[in-house]
Amino acid sequence: MQIDLAHRSTSSWLDAADLAREVYAQAYGADVAPRPDSFIVARPACGAAEKPCAPLACAGLTFGSDQELFSERYLDTGVEDAALARLGASVDRRRVVEVGALATRRASVGRELIRATPIIAWCLGMEYILCTVTRSLITTLDRTGISFVPFGPADPRRLSPDEAARWGSYYDQEPQVGVIPLNALDRLFSDATGRYSVTDLQLSISAMEVAGHAGH
């Protein structure tokens, strides 16, 4: 299996969007069309095949630096103020990514994608994941060593009636909105040691970050 990052409007992104639509329709009777900035996509390794294999699981990434994130609609404030109130921590919006449109055709692949997503978000320079999760997903996160900090219920009344109706029975799962602090994932990173092989690795660091750590 391989896990890739697919950027908007690429063929892999479109395949992942189709997967998310199909899975949410089957699971909840929902009619949603996710449009994240990127998808994390898990698929079988296809070797030298010209066309990538069809995705088995996906998770959408939307970055919060210059736009309101969907999950913020459930909050009375922006994610920065919500995190300050709940965690006592100052949050830089540029370091927040929303994860949504989590979908899988195979439970084992979905669990692997859940395990890999915080690691990929961390590699992208993020400090917090904002997400809306169902009761069953909270249990899966806990078993995987991923600490989810709830802010409160995801109330469909925060959406327009038409928009809420498009989610079918999703809100019957009593979803919660909250964050995953990526600096609190010691167990996840420990368990992931030796688990993944990374190809085409390139690390970038801004001059500002270098200057800030020069004296450490």
Element (H, E) at 83: helix 79-87
How many Å apart are CA 138 and CA 132, to the nearest integer? 10
CATH code, domain with 69: 3.40.630.30
Q: pTM (2 decimals)?
A: 0.87
Apex CA 186: angle with CA 184 and CA 188, to 5°?
A: 105
User: What does the pLDDT look like over 174-212, one tens digit per residue?
Assistant: 999 999 999 888 877 777 677 766 666 544 555 444 444
Please state the domain count of the chain.
Answer: 1
Q: Which domain holds residue 91?
A: 2-213
Among the ranges given (14-23, 42-51, 70-79, 82-91), the one the predictor scored with the smallest mean pLDDT: 42-51
Q: What is the pLDDT of residues 56-78, one digit of tens each?
A: 999 999 998 888 999 999 999 99
Label residues 69-83 b or e (16+ Cβ within 10 Å = b).
bbbbebbeebbbebb
